A and B are shown apart, each in its own frame.
Chain A
Amino acid sequence: MKEKLEPFLPVIGVVGLFAVWFGATSLKLVDPVLLPSPMEAGKAFYKGMYGVLGFDFVKTVYRTLMATAIAAVIAIPLGIVLGASEKLYRSLEFVIDFFRSTPASAMFPLFLVLFGVGDETKISVAAFGAILVILFNVAYGVMNARKTRLLAAKVMGASRLRVLFDVMLFESLPQTFVGLRNGVSLALVIIVVAEMFIGSQDGLGHSVFEAQQMFEMPRMYAAIFAAGALGYGLNLIFLTIERRFVHWSGK
Chain B
Amino acid sequence: MNAAQHALRVETAGVPSANSLTVGAIKRPHVTVRGLSKKFGKTTIYDNFDLDIPRGELISVFGPNGCGKSTLINMIAGLIPMDAGQILFDGMQLADIKFGYVFQNYREALFPWMRAFDNIAYPLKMMNVSPAERKARTEQLVARLGVKIDLNLYPYQMSGGQQQLVSIMRALVVEPEILFLDEPFSALDYEMTLFMREQLQKLFMESGTTMVLVSHDLEEAVYLADHVLLLSRHPARVADFPAVTSPRPRTDATLSDPEFVSTKAHCLEVFQREVRRA
Contacts and interface: CB of A to CB of B under 8 A. Distances in A.
Interface of A: 146-149, 151-152, 154-158, 162, 166-167, 170, 173, 247-248, 251
A147 B111 CA distance: 12
A248 B156 contact: yes
Contact of B111 (A155, A162, A167, A173): A167
Nearest to A173: B113
Contact of B126 (A147, A158, A170): A158
Contacts of A251: 112, 156
Contacts of A148: 103, 105, 108-109
A43 to B, nearest CB: 49
B117 interface: no
A157 B111 CA distance: 15
A248 B77 contact: no
Interface string B17-34: 000000000000000000
A186 to B, nearest CB: 28
B108 A146 contact: yes
Contacts of A149: 108-109, 111
Nearest to A151: B79
A248 B118 CA distance: 15
A155 B79 contact: yes
Given A156-B122, A157-B127, A167-B111, 11 more contacts: A147-B108, A148-B105, A151-B103, A152-B101, A152-B109, A155-B77, A155-B79, A156-B123, A162-B126, A248-B154, A248-B156
A149 B127 CA distance: 18
Given A157-B127, A247-B154, A170 B111 contact: yes
Contacts of B108: 146-149
A38 B177 CA distance: 75
A154 B122 CA distance: 12
B94 to A, nearest CB: 10
23 contacts: A146-B108, A147-B108, A148-B105, A148-B108, A149-B111, A151-B79, A151-B103, A152-B101, A154-B79, A155-B77, A155-B79, A155-B101, A156-B122, A156-B126, A157-B127, A158-B126, A162-B126, A167-B111, A170-B111, A170-B113, A173-B113, A248-B113, A248-B156
A248 B122 CA distance: 18
A117 to B, nearest CB: 45
Interface string B96-134: 000001010100111111000000001100110000000
Contacts of A166: 111, 122
A81 B77 CA distance: 29
A160 to B, nearest CB: 13
Contacts of B111: 149, 166-167, 170
Nearest to A156: B123
Contacts of B109: 148-149, 152
Contacts of B79: 151, 154-155
Contacts of A154: 79
A146 B101 CA distance: 17
Contact of B123 (A157, A167, A173): A157
B5 to A, nearest CB: 22
A173 B105 CA distance: 21
Nearest to B74: A151
A146 B108 CA distance: 7
B112 A248 contact: yes
Contacts of A156: 122-123, 126, 170
Nearest to A146: B108
Contacts of A147: 108
A244 to B, nearest CB: 13
Nearest to A154: B79
